[in-house]
Amino acid sequence: MEYFLAVVDHKGINAAASALRLAQPTVSQAIRVLERELGVDLFHRIGRGMVLTSAGQAFVGPARQVLRDVVAAEGALVDSEGLPRGRLDIHVAAPLAVHPVAQLVGQFRKRYPNVSLRLADLRDEEAGAALIRDGHCEIVFTNLPVAGPELEVEELGTHDYWLVCPPGTDVPARDPLPLTELPDLPLVIVPKSTGRTAIERALSAARKHTTPSAIVQHRESLLPFVLAGVGGTILARPMAEQAAARGAVVRAIDPPISLAYGVLYDPALLSPAGRAFLRLARTR
């Protein structure tokens, strides 16, 4: 089932095998065995592609639940000292990976060395509730506000967003830089998100209209594009500080663009490890 879901999530045998760190024939054979045991074809083989059959689509939900139950069973155990063990799955919006999640994971691992963490990128902030509901993870770190029907949402802090420009860009020395003095620089942006909406609102209020130089799907691509001179961008302060260390021209902004962040979770589905992680997040 894990191999089956890897093929679904990575949209192919080769990518799934790479993610699982297995040989491609191993994954292919496992899928064939699963199909024989179930008595149905889970995929249409079209050339080198894999497309879910109707039976395969119907099997995705139950397969995720089975694997979620396995992880939950492992997470319900404690070691000889009464500390959580097992695995904790978390999805994280990219701006929050640098801060606070990296620090939290480091502290958590020191306290609970028998818990392994699996962190995945939250590419769609609106998908957080579905990821928890479908068993992909226990906790989602995301920008706020976010809709989470029947889920708990807790604010943990705020991030200021700073202007990040390619090395050598002529930017007024004022820091913070008034938004009205923002240089006429095209921006590298990501598709619609909570952060982008807040940025566009602030720029509009300052009567600054910028032109996108590139729209990239993955947030981790923003900084390489900026450093290559494609355009500027606006990043959460922890990421902007990393950009400055790599040579980018960085300025705080006035008035500040601030965005709250927090966690999304279902109390009924939290393992001991999940509850311990949230306790740590609340006290940092």
pLDDT for 139:
95
pLDDT at 159 over 90: yes
pLDDT of residue 73: 72
| Mean pLDDT in residue range 171-180 | 91
Mean pLDDT of 170-191: 89
In this structure, is residue 24 part of a structural domain?
yes
Residue 219 in any domain: the answer is yes
C-alpha to C-alpha distances, 40 to 52, 55, 59, nearest whole angstrom: 11, 7, 10
Unique residue bearing structure tokens 């965005």: 259
pLDDT-above-70 percentage for the chain: 95
In a domain, 58, yes or no: yes
Domain boundary among 39, 59, 75: 75
Q: Is residue 121 part of a domain?
A: no
Q: Chain-centre distance of CA 160, in angstroms? A: 19
Does any domain span residue 19?
yes
Name the nearest CA neighbour of 255 among 195, 210, 186, 202: 202
Top mean-pLDDT range of 58-67, 202-211, 258-267:
258-267
Q: What is the pLDDT of residue 53?
A: 94
3-state secondary structure of 263: strand
Mean pLDDT across 181-190: 88
- Give residue 161's Cα distance to chain centre: 18
Establish if 11 belongs to a structural domain.
yes
- Give the residue-averaged pLDDT of 167-172: 93
* Confidence at residue 39, expressed as pLDDT on a 0 to 100 scale: 93
Return the biggest CA–CA distance within the chain: 69
What's the domain count of the chain?
Answer: 2
Strand, helix or coil at 43? strand
Q: Report how far residue 280's alpha carbon sits from residue 83's, in angstroms, rounded to the nearest whole number.
A: 14
Residue 116 is assigned to a structural domain of this protein: no
Question: Of 38, 57, 75, which residue is a domain's last?
Answer: 75
Both tokens of residue 94? Answer: 């990219």
As to burial, measured by CB atoms within 10 angstroms (0-12 exposed, 13-18 middle, 19+ buried), residue 83 is: middle
Considering the entire predicted model, what is its pTM? 0.75
pLDDT at 124: 82
Across the chain, what does the average pLDDT equal? 89
pLDDT at 257 exceeding the cut of 60 = yes
HSE-up of residue 271 (Cα within 13 Å, Cβ side)? 29
Dump pLDDT digits (tens) for 25-69.
Answer: 999 999 999 999 999 999 998 877 789 999 999 999 888 888 877
**Where among 75, 98, 116 does a domain terminate?**
75
Q: Tokens representing 161?
A: 């967003």
The CATH number given to whatever domain includes residue 38 is: 1.10.10.10
Q: Is residue 93 part of a domain?
A: no
Helix-strand-coil split of the chain, %, nearest 5: 45, 25, 30
What are the helix (H) ranges across the chain? 2-10, 13-20, 24-38, 54-75, 94-96, 102-111, 128-133, 194-205, 222-227, 237-245, 272-283
Which residues constitute the domain of residue 22? 1-75
Query: Residues 62-106: pLDDT tens digits?
Result: 888 888 777 767 666 666 676 787 889 999 998 899 899 999 999
> Average pLDDT of 230-238?
93
What CATH number should be reported for the domain holding residue 187?
3.40.190.290
Which of 105, 156, 152, 157 minimizes the C-alpha distance to 129? 152
Taking the C-alpha atoms of residue 84 and residue 106, their distance in angstroms, rounded to an integer, is 16
